[in-house]
Amino acid sequence: MSLGKIVVAIKALEDSQRQMIRETAEKLGYSIVFCDDSAEAAREAQDAEIIYSYDSSLGAKAPGLKWFHAASAGVDNFLKPGALPLDCLLSNSAGAYGVAVSEHGVTLTLMLLRRIPDYMENVRAHIWRADLPVKSLTGSRITVLGTGDIGGNYAKRVRGFAPECIIGVNRSGQVREEGVFDRVIPQDQLSEVLPETDILFMALPGTRDTLKMLDAEKIALLPEHAIVVNVGRGNSIDQTALVEALNEGRIAGAGLDVFEVEPIPEGDPAWTAKNLLITTHTAGQMTLVNTRNKNAQMFCEDLKNYSEGRTLRHLVDRALGY
């Protein structure tokens, strides 16, 4: 006897992860179908009980859907009106991206501090020089916006560089794990720490609450030598204000993997902003085997919870947005 149908639409999964998912599903009595083609996934979604994918558009095509497990960490697209049936459960894969995204964040941070974009331009032109002033994580004051999986992993990674301090900022000011941050403050106190921030690292979910959290006023509080790194969601920064501050030299640099509009449109001033290091939303993705394994494990874990009527471990509060 078969329970409902599971549709898995994640092209990046390897055989090993597919096999683990198939075995878990079949042992629990579900039928399962893997769709690497999006048209096929849309067809299969029509009578699905469970979908596991990063493609939020499948939700609207599945009237009987009971649970959508997002393969992504961010769920902004899943929260839009009509994206999912009203009583459908939503869970996400936030915990799968901490390693990949935090590591990308450290990479962007170090590249800015050590003037790598400038030096790479020199190397392209075979210009041999080594005299640009650089900065260091050692002794720096770091503020981390968002103390979840990504922010916490970033803090653990930069700790080894002996910064002066790492301050975490979240909604409540609550400490989630001891010893990761020197101090955790609520986001309404952010303005107090910005003037003493050398490195501002942002890993916020894309919710109404985080919209343009770094706006013109807050950017103006940062010291001139400060750098900003954002690997969370593009809309948590007022991008126009940031580009302006960069071009006027009011902050020293920014490393952004996420943008208000992606891909960045042709002609957008972001493409030519001074000291702006751009990566093309490459931080997360399922391009790291660690991410793929964890992602699949998290789905299997919650599939067991779901089938036994327990609360999903990776459940998203559809009102709060994370």
Residues within the interface to its own copies (CB under 8 A): 99-100, 103-104, 106-107, 110-111, 113-117, 119-120, 122-123, 126-139, 156-161, 262-264, 266, 271, 278-282, 285, 287-288, 290
C-beta separation of 90 from 315 below 8 A:
yes
How far apart (Å, rounded) are the C-alpha atoms in residues 67 and 49?
Answer: 7
Q: How far is the CB of 158 from its own copies (least distance, A)?
A: 7
131 vs 248 by CB, closer to its own copies = 131
Q: How far is the CB of 239 from its own copies (least distance, A)?
A: 16
- For residue 111, what are the CA distances in angstroms to 52, 163, 271? 35, 16, 18
65 vs 148 by CB, closer to its own copies = 148
The CA-based angle 49-76-275, given to 5 degrees, is 145
114 vs 176 by CB, closer to its own copies = 114
122 vs 187 by CB, closer to its own copies = 122
Q: How far is the CB of 100 from its own copies (least distance, A)?
A: 7
CA quadruple 230, 236, 240, 241: dihedral positive or negative?
Answer: negative
Give me 277's structure tokens: 């290091």
Q: How far is the CB of 94 from its own copies (least distance, A)?
A: 17
155 vs 214 by CB, closer to its own copies = 155
Q: How far is the CB of 76 from its own copies (least distance, A)?
A: 17
Q: How far is the CB of 248 from its own copies (least distance, A)?
A: 23
How far apart (Å, rounded) are the C-alpha atoms in residues 316 and 74?
Answer: 10
3 vs 289 by CB, closer to its own copies = 289
Radius of gyration of the chain (CA): 21
- For residue 180, what are the CA distances in angstroms to 25, 165, 237, 284? 36, 11, 25, 22
